[in-house]
Amino acid sequence: MMKFKFLFLFILISIKFLATGQQTNFITIQGKNYKLLNDPLESYFEKHPEDHPVYGEKFVRKNENGDETFSMTTANHRGYIAYFEIIDNELFLVDLTITDPDSDSDIQISMFNKIFPNKKTKLNYSGILTVPNGDFIDSDNFGFSSYYSSYLILTLRNDILTKSKELQNEDYIKFKIKQFKEFQKTKEYRIAYKNYLKSNKEDKEWDLSYENTKELSKEEIKEIKKQYSKKPTKDQIDNFLFMMSNLEKVYVDY
């Protein structure tokens, strides 16, 4: 049992500097509100990119120069917060908000009726939802992968809740490790691995570009070069993917 705990802590420490914690979505279950460490809307916006409340062509904003501007932060790459509810064992989207682009504050405004005015809010979602229902243990500075004392795991098929179970933190980590091992055998893993290498290359090119370094000191540029002096190893990439991937597809039982 302890080896999983140590593995998790090793991975946690090794990637803390690599990612920014992401603002969670929310879900209501039996009248109680929880954070949701998933984004069931992701697949919907992949199929309907024009509907995205920040990046979609229906809502994208332009400045006086005609350049597109986006209301998002490093703490919320998707640009929105989604609110879900389980009603009679069925998943529904009940609201969708973004930061008001016309305000200097962080006030949230609803985009729900603009995107789904005459549509049912069912998403036909299938997968695993992760709902932290225990004490908060570690700061969420790596995507959705905050560390809690326990989790409620929900399995849905076409929005219908088919299974739920509470897992204590060590059992949850064991489950996630088993999920990841199966994920490594898939085409999706190979794509994610290649995308990481591509992103790393693009980051290096930008960070060392003249545009980015023209106002930096020699010492600062030297430090950036040092950070990119070694290519990421497979273990480092796997550690990153382990923590950052939601692994919502059901690979193993829990």
Query: Hey, where are the domains in the chain?
Result: 2-244
Band (pLDDT 50/70/90 cuts) for residue 113 is very high
Is the pLDDT reported for residue 170 higher than 60? Answer: yes
Predicted pLDDT at 65: 61
Between CA 34 and CA 41, with CA 36 as vertex, the angle to 5 degrees is 130
Predicted pLDDT at 19: 52
Which tens digit of pLDDT belongs to each residue from 2-43?
344 434 444 443 444 345 567 889 999 999 999 998 899 988
As a whole-number percent, the residues of the chain with pLDDT over 90 amount to: 48
Predicted pLDDT at 147: 80
Residues comprising the chain, all counted:
254
pTM for the model stands at: 0.76
**Rounded-to-integer distance, Cα 41 and Cα 95, Å:** 11
Q: Are 19 and 244 in contact (CB under 8 A)?
A: yes
φ, ψ of residue 35 to 5 degrees: the values are -75, 155
